């Protein structure tokens, strides 16, 4: 199997694993989700087993009294420790999902430094994993000039140089005379052929690879001709240009792409906050844990946004599934059943929105700071059920 085929298998494996994790249900509420920092450049990252044991002890303290932290998840812990022993080379972080009674075990090493944590429940806690994957896109890159072209495919921290070619382009004739126009047309024709070949190569690559966005790089004149010849279905996927030399090593190309993607993500987060502000007056956006929980319970939230690292205590009704922003009152307002405390309501809200076919966005940087001033969490709503708040309210 060639390098490209191996890379495609890795990308497809991530998508398939997510489908399995979302569909999994554990009747004993012991579906174990573990996130660990394994980056060897960090002191804690050199001791993942210690992180695991500490995280499981902390989890046991959150479970019903009498849970023995050393035995509650012993089979899962043994399987995870065995996996960690063979993790070479170590990634920045790893997400592990285990349910020993079902012989279910999935692990995803990722270029993300996770905060160590462990959770258990009927379903897996996918929030940190989805937030990490949201930072990365399936990206195609082409760098070209009038004679040469290189094509790449990037995802997570991987980059694959898929194709490279050079076309012979005769130089411009600078001696004047009657033949000058003919030499000029000959040169321009070969430049056109090269640009068309590059556009066709990118189109073929987009047909066989997943693609979220495209970056292009090269001299302005070459890029203008390339854009004109690119199929319309791909032009709108061009996210921008990157400034790297044509013969730059793949690692430099990847670094330029990741920097450009971080900029795009932050801009998209700012646009999302603007949309939330604009829709608030029409009753089509909710801010704060209580209002968002109400909208999620009513299946009105189609996009959930929250600041990175936000944790909110709440409550859950096991009879009707209601989520509440505070443990009080002691009984569910919908069915009068007892409410059970939830250590992190944001996780539950994110899971519920995903189950309802919505999207989840974890904000970072300036956008996260702005949202924190409004409770750290908000949602775009399918419809309003209350009169709009007064301006400035």
Tens-place pLDDT, residues 271-318: 999 999 999 989 999 999 999 999 999 999 999 999 987 888 899 998
Mean pLDDT of the chain: 86
| pLDDT interval class at 331 (50, 70, 90) | confident
CB count within 10 Å of CB 277 equals 14
> Which of 391, 307, 294 has the alpha carbon at shortest distance from 349?
294
Burial label for 178, CB within 10 Å (0-12, 13-18, 19+), is exposed
pLDDT of residue 178: 53
Query: Has residue 251 got a pLDDT over 60?
Result: yes
Question: Could you give the CA distance from residue 280 to residue 284 in angstroms, rounded to a whole number?
Answer: 6
Question: Could you give the CA distance from residue 134 to residue 303 in angstroms, rounded to a whole number?
Answer: 14
Query: Has residue 2 got a pLDDT over 90?
Result: no
Tens of pLDDT, residue by residue over 165-189, are: 999 877 665 555 555 565 567 677 8
pLDDT of residue 69: 59
User: Mean pLDDT across the stretch 52-73?
Assistant: 79
pLDDT of residue 343: 75
Question: Could you give the CA distance from residue 282 to residue 381 in angstroms, rounded to a whole number?
Answer: 10
pLDDT of residue 127: 87
Considering the entire predicted model, what is its pTM?
0.64
pLDDT of residue 140: 95
């Amino acid at each position: 199997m060639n390098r490209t085929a191996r890379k495609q298998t890795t990308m497809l494996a991530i998508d398939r694993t997510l489908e399995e994790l979302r569909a999994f249900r554990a009747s004993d509420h012991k579906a174990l989700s573990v996130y660990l920092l394994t980056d060897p450049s960090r002191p804690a990252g050199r001791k993942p087993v210690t992180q695991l044991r500490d995280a499981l002890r902390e989890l046991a303290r959150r479970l019903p009294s009498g849970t023995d932290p050393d035995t509650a998840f012993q089979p899962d812990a043994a399987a995870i420790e065995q996996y960690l022993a063979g993790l070479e080379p170590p990634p920045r972080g790893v997400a592990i999902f285990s349910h020993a009674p079902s012989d279910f075990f999935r692990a995803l090493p990722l270029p993300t430094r996770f905060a160590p944590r462990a959770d258990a429940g009927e379903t897996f806690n996918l929030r940190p994993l989805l937030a990490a994957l949201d930072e990365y896109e399936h990206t195609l890159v082409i760098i070209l000039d009038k004679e040469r072209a290189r094509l790449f495919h990037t995802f997570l921290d991987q980059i694959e140089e898929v194709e490279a070619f050079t076309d012979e382009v005769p130089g411009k004739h600078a001696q004047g005379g009657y033949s000058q126009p003919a030499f000029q047309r000959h040169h321009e024709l070969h430049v056109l052929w090269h640009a068309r070949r590059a556009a066709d190569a990118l189109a073929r690559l987009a047909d066989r690879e997943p693609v979220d966005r495209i970056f292009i790089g090269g001299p302005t004149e070459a890029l203008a001709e390339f854009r004109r010849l690119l199929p319309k279905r791909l032009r709108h996927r061009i996210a921008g240009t990157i400034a790297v030399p044509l013969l730059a090593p793949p690692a430099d190309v990847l670094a330029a792409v990741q920097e450009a993607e971080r900029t795009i993500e932050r801009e998209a987060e700012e646009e999302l906050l603007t949309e939330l502000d604009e829709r608030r007056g029409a009753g089509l956006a909710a801010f704060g844990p209580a209002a968002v929980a109400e909208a999620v319970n009513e299946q009105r939230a189609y996009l959930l946004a929250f600041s990175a690292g936000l944790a909110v205590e709440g409550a859950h009704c096991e009879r009707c599934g209601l989520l509440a922003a505070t443990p009080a009152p002691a009984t569910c307002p919908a069915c009068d059943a007892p409410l059970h405390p939830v250590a992190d309501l944001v996780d539950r809200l994110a899971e519920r929105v995903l189950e309802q076919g919505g999207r989840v966005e974890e904000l970072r940087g300036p956008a996260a700071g702005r949202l924190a001033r409004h409770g750290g969490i908000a949602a775009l709503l399918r419809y309003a059920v209350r009169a709009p708040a007064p301006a400035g309210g």
